[in-house]
Amino acid sequence: MSKNDDKTVIVYGAEWCAFCHQAMHYFDKIGVKYEYKNVDLDVAAMQDAIRKSGQMGIPVIDMQGEIVVGFDRPHIDHVVKEKHLAA
């Protein structure tokens, strides 16, 4: 999994979550660096995801402050383009 030193993209997810894996594989494919936070193992990450998204579903993707819930590819593509996040 990719790491992002300046933490501009954070994927809050879990190992059992297929949509979380889809999101991370998609970021790898398009060259977006991200940090993965496992909400099953990190209570603070779980609380951050809930606070940022207002709900308990995953993945929660924080893209420089733009919150995307789920693997919403059109929304992700829009934010990637808008914020110039792809390599």
Is 49 domain-assigned?
yes
pLDDT of residue 3: 44
Rounded to whole angstroms, the Cα distance separating 30 from 47 reads: 28
Is 2 domain-assigned?
no
Q: What is the pTM (predicted TM-score) of this model?
A: 0.90
Q: Could you tell me if residue 34 is left (phi over 0), alpha (psi between -120 and 50 degrees) or otherwise beta?
A: beta
pLDDT of residue 6: 52
pLDDT of residue 5: 46
Is 15 domain-assigned?
yes
Mean pLDDT per block of 10 residues along the chain (87 residues) reads: 60 98 97 97 98 96 97 97 91
Range of the domain at 31: 9-83
Instruction: Number of helices (H) and strands (E) in the chain: give both, helices first.
Output: 3, 4
Q: What is the DSSP letter of 69?
A: E
CATH code at position 18: 3.40.30.10
